[in-house]
Amino acid sequence: MRHTLAALFLVSVLPFTPPQDAPPHEPGPFRTTDLVELATLDPTIKLDIRYATPNNLAGRAVYSQARAFLQRPAAESLVRAHRSLAADGYGLLIFDGYRPWRVTKLFWDTTPPEKREFVADPSKGSKHNRGCAVDLSMYDLKSGREVAMPSVYDEMSPRAYPDYSGGSPDERARRDRLRRAMEADGFTVEPNEWWHFNYRDWQQYAIQDIPFEAIQSPRGPRGPE
């Protein structure tokens, strides 16, 4: 009986550890999630959702739908950045936005430890999981084609760093132009990925694990309230 009571006492005082397959718990408070589909805000934003294809670091499709979402303030800032690039003959090409937590865990589990600087730790969650990070590049408005950058998307090498000094001068100039446009509208670049930008208010949103199919995204800009 004594051992049983001791065991019950330990269970009652030890901190709860969430299951490994569950998102980390955070106390909040957080803003209400308002994930908006980017294609509904400006149809000239191009999509190349790699994770809905086998052409990605997992080697197989991990999304069932080729869609991209962000929290509404981040999405509206992204549209402004996209339109600002038009004067230079560019538009935004989106690879990924909001990412369900379970996909972050999949990437972590399948990435070799020596390459994990390029993927988020699921025990902490990702800014993608909050709907406040976007992976993107640019396309040429005249040709409609993706422009060349110092590295390809999701390349796990120093060429992916925002301050990488290799590549051609034109590639670095385009990379830096993209960064200026995004920073002017409230985003900051990830230290080791030129394509990954985080929205300034990411800490105000909770980690989500909502599949794309369950997102009820409003269509178009919100009207006057």
Active site residues: 193
d(CA 122, CA 151): 25
Which three-class secondary structure state does DSSP give residue 93? strand
d(CA 26, CA 166): 40
Query: DSSP string covering 97-141, please?
Result: ----HHHHHHHHHHS-GGGGGGS--TTT--TGGGT-EEEEEEEET
Q: Are strands 46-47 and 90-96 parallel, antiparallel or unpaired?
A: parallel
Q: How far apart are the first and last CA of the chain?
A: 63
Helix or strand run (H / E) with residue 69: strand 69-71
